[in-house]
Amino acid sequence: MTIPILYYDDRSPPVRSCLMLIKMLNINVELRFVDLFKGAQFEKDFLALNPQHSVPTLVHDELLLTDSHVILIHLVEQFDTEAGRLWPKDYAARMKSEIVRKQFANVDVAYHERKLCEAYDIMERYLDGQTYMAGDQLTLADISIVSTLSTVHLMFPVAAARWPQLQRWFATMQQLDAYEVNRLGVEKLRDIIEKLGKFQFPNRQL
């Protein structure tokens, strides 16, 4: 089996979910940086590899994967020595993890505040009485969601008074060793947007 190659820009939330998992599972991966802010995703060589010009893009043996969640599943299936730890063996548990993840899959800082509040409300209800998004076990849903939530949190902070369970979950995720790669990516994204947009995000806590 060859070493996977990940084309990435860690300022991208989906990329950061993959980087977190790679760190958690201690996977040997070749990283190739694609500078999205300089248009590197539109260069001829990268377009030949991935016509969708998106990151993350993973090349592993004969596989070319261009969807972050598919990449997460592939990495777990291939490299997690504790089978079922992050991607449950039980079919119902997998479906629950997927349902929760999709509730937040398309939310980003460009969405209207009302939509974000609705998404936060949904997450709050899911977390009622359980530690993580899909139960009491950390799953890919948590890793996928926190990479996006941490970015959205810059503009629309998770207020503990309204969303105490979501704030508690977010704090728990921030304690993971692997969260550091996510935090660094959010920091880079924040800095470049503030520089380009000449404004400061209302929330500085990452």
Token readout for 180 is 């550091």
Q: Do domains 5-106 and 109-197 have the same CATH topology?
A: no
As beta bridge partners, residue 63 has 60
Tell me: domain 109-197, CATH 1.10.357.10, correct?
no
**Residue 95 has what pLDDT?**
82
In 3D, which of 114, 110, 88 has the Cα closest to residue 101? Answer: 88
Residues 41, 19: Cα–Cα separation, whole Å: 19
Say which CATH superfamily domain 5-106 falls into: Glutaredoxin (3.40.30.10)
Give the gyration radius of the chain's Cα atoms. Answer: 17
pLDDT at 200 exceeding the cut of 80:
no
Lowest model confidence (mean pLDDT) among 1-5, 50-54, 165-169, 200-204:
200-204
Question: In terms of pLDDT, which residue wins out, 157 or 179?
Answer: 179
Average per-residue pLDDT for the chain: 89
Task: Round to whole Å and give the CA distance between 35 and 38.
Answer: 5
205 compared with 55, residue with greater pLDDT: 55
Q: What is the pLDDT of residues 95-153, one digit of tens each?
A: 877 777 776 665 554 446 678 888 899 999 999 999 999 999 999 999 999 999 999 88
pTM: predicted TM-score of the whole model, two decimal places? 0.86
pLDDT score of 196: 75
Q: Write down the domain spans for the chain.
A: 5-106, 109-197
Q: How far is CA 197 from CA 184, 192, 204, in A?
A: 20, 8, 16
Q: What is the pLDDT of residue 194?
A: 81
Give the pLDDT score at 109: 47
Residues 6 or more apart whose Cβ sits within 8 Å of residue 88: 94, 97, 134, 137, 139
